[in-house]
Amino acid sequence: MNANPDAEPRTNQGFFTQAFRFGLVGIGGAAVDYGSLTLILALGTWPEPARILSFTIGSTAVYLVNRRWTFTSSRSTREVVALTAVLALTFALVAGVNALALRLLPEGPWQITLAWAISQAIATTFNFLAQRTIVFRQRSTNPAT
């Protein structure tokens, strides 16, 4: 881990490049997340704790790829602290939205999947914007900006 909080990332990619890469990585992460949810539910876990655990597994996989490819991380102490805060907020968001969706959606064979999709969409949007603006923000080399 780089102890220099002012370390520059190796590249300065634009919003759309980062969003595209985040989306590609997110598709793989969603597959990991939903696959682990399905497996955890098959083991007999209740839907709410299963969703929290699947989120943790999927988020870990996505972070490991995003920090190298999407955001080209400097791996500073500031970054780790910011990431921890963002993931804690995302965790609360995904758990809360999933629980609310499970209570509001009609019971049926698609209830858990639809709750997962709703919580995933909201959390992914928040997570991208927060990681781009807080965790992996680009430091300007121009003092006027």
Global model pTM greater than 0.85? no
What pLDDT shows up at residue 73? Answer: 76
Report the C-alpha gap between 114 and 101 in whole angstroms: 8
Question: Is the model's pLDDT at 120 over the cut of 50?
Answer: yes
DSSP state of 143: T
Task: Decide if pLDDT at 10 tops 90.
Answer: no
Look up residue 136 and give its two tokens. 């992996």
Mean pLDDT of 25-35: 94
Q: What is the DSSP letter of 76?
A: B
Does 3 score more than 70 pLDDT? no
Rounded mean pLDDT of the chain?
85
- When pLDDT is cut at 50, 70 and 90, the band that residue 122 belongs to is very high
Coil, strand, or helix at residue 2? strand
pLDDT of residue 72: 75
pLDDT at residue 105 greater than cutoff 90: yes
Region 98-112: what's the mean pLDDT?
95
